[in-house]
Amino acid sequence: MIYNCDITEKDGKFIAQFPDMTNVLTYGSSLEEALEMAKDALDGVLSVDIENGFPIPPSKYTGGYPVEVSPKVAFVIELRKARAEKSLKEVAEKAGMTYQQYQRLENPRKTNPTLETLYKLQKVFNHPFLAL
């Protein structure tokens, strides 16, 4: 999953902002540092937005510099999209796991699914979370 950012230079600082994520703004002292900071800021804001149940805007902007979302955050976003209106409890039961186990999967700070868990989720949602 990739979001693109624009980077502009002002007074020796490189300012990075994401047109698709208006609440993400950071800077660095070089272009490379600004891109590193942009990745950290993007992952942080997406994680907090997920934890607070805020909607995650799709990545539409194609200009600027591509910034890859961390795999854990991207997985949680895809998992929540696949779940849609189903309850956590309903999905957990269909996947053969406890509510708490499934709940951890939707937390970007705690998620770490095994291949077996990914296989179960793919069957529940009929959605490929992992392509081999």
- Confidence label for 99 from pLDDT (cuts 50, 70 and 90): very high
Mean pLDDT confidence for 17-40: 96
Of the candidates 17, 74, 64, the residue with the CA atom closest to the CA atom of residue 82: 74
Mean pLDDT confidence for 90-108: 95
User: How many other CB atoms are found less than 10 A from the CB of residue 37?
Assistant: 18
Strand order in the sheet with 13-18: 21-28, 13-18, 2-10, 65-68
Structural domains of the chain, ranges and CATH numbers in brackets: 2-68 (3.30.160.250), 71-125 (1.10.260)
- The model's pTM is 0.88
Residue 72: both structure tokens together: 């854990």
* In the block, residue with structure tokens 């997985």: 75
Q: What is the pLDDT of residue 129?
A: 78
Q: What is the pLDDT of residue 18?
A: 97
CA dist 113 and 93 (Å) reads: 16
Q: What is the pLDDT of residue 131?
A: 60
Q: What is the pLDDT of residue 92?
A: 96
Mean pLDDT confidence for 50-69: 94
pLDDT in tens, 32-56: 999 999 999 999 999 999 999 899 9
Q: What is the pLDDT of residue 26?
A: 97
Do the Cβ atoms of 42 and 67 come closer than 8 Å? yes
